[in-house]
Amino acid sequence: MGKCPYCNKSAGIFKKHHKECEEKYNRAKANITKTATENFEDLNNLNFDQLKELAKESYVSESEYQDIISESYLNVLDQYLDDGVLSKEEEDRLESFMKNSNLSQEVFDKNDSLSKTVRASILRDLLNGDEIKNRLKVNGNLPFKFQKSENLIWLFQNVELFEQRIKTTYKGGSQGLSLRIAKGIYYRTNSFRGHPVKTTKIVPIATGIVALTEKHIYFASSIKNFRINYNKIITIDPYSDGIGITKDGVTAKPQVFKNVDGWFCYNFIKNISE
């Protein structure tokens, strides 16, 4: 006989869990999510102690409960960002929700929601023409030498750098034979190399750190280090988990930075360079 993973009691012959336990578990998770989301802006009707007790009684673990609360926070944050800007009032509501939950900041940043809130507030300051403040606390030394007139705005770690490579091959070439067709006339087949065919692919280059300042985007790794002035960027493409950049220059190769917030980087670079 197996044990029910919810109540830890015998599940019976040929059973893995009690149906009623599973239903209670799923119902509690749905209720916690609904209650937290619907009362997000009215904390007087949101009792986190009751939600936590409901989770405990319904076999929802502490880590699962924390994930539900932080996910509710992130869902509301995404709703606030539907118009592209996080207002000061919306930021205050998010902060109040987090404080009233009695959960640590680390819980809310497991899914990057807290950091996303800070980045959204940085964009608001930028759009409003306010001073952009450094809101990061960096432990240790950074591998960058910033200019005197610039400050660190944001930092992304474990960023994968990719670059575009173009390979040219020729189709329809000859074997290099020289055939005599008539007196004094030769058809040199090796002079006809066929037509060039170019293939493009994105190849991984390095994994490192990306830093954003008021003037540059920096990249540092064990094998490649560089900085790009925002004014030298001619194209910028945002992705859900990265950003693509092409800088000015005949030999410049398109570069893709994976594991950065594409939404933030795109809006920050576009607005600060205008």
Q: Where are the domains of the chain?
A: 2-128, 152-167+198-272
Tell me which residue of 220, 209, 222, 261 sits closest to 77, measured CA to CA. Answer: 261
What pLDDT sits at residue 88?
A: 94
Would you mind telling me the total number of residues written for the chain in this entry? Answer: 274
Neighbours of 15 (CB within 10 A): 13
Q: Which fold has domain 152-167+198-272?
A: PH-domain like (2.30.29)
Separation of alpha carbons 155 and 161, rounded Å:
15
Tell me which residue of 241, 242, 213 sits closest to 228, measured CA to CA. Answer: 213
pTM of the prediction?
0.80
Separation of alpha carbons 213 and 229, rounded Å:
10
What pLDDT sits at residue 252?
A: 79
Pair of tokens at residue 231: 């004014």
Reduce the DSSP state of residue 17 to 3 states and report it. Answer: coil
Reduce the DSSP state of residue 91 to 3 states and report it. Answer: helix
What pLDDT sits at residue 77?
A: 95
Per residue of the chain (274 residues), what is the pLDDT tens digit? 678 888 988 877 777 888 899 999 999 999 999 999 999 989 999 999 999 999 999 999 999 999 999 999 999 999 999 888 899 999 999 999 999 999 999 999 999 999 999 999 999 999 999 888 777 777 778 899 999 888 999 999 999 999 987 776 666 655 555 555 556 555 555 555 556 666 778 899 999 999 999 999 999 999 999 999 999 999 999 998 999 999 998 777 889 999 999 999 999 999 998 7
Report how far Cα 235 is from the mean position of its chain's Cα atoms: 19
Separation of alpha carbons 127 and 110, rounded Å:
28
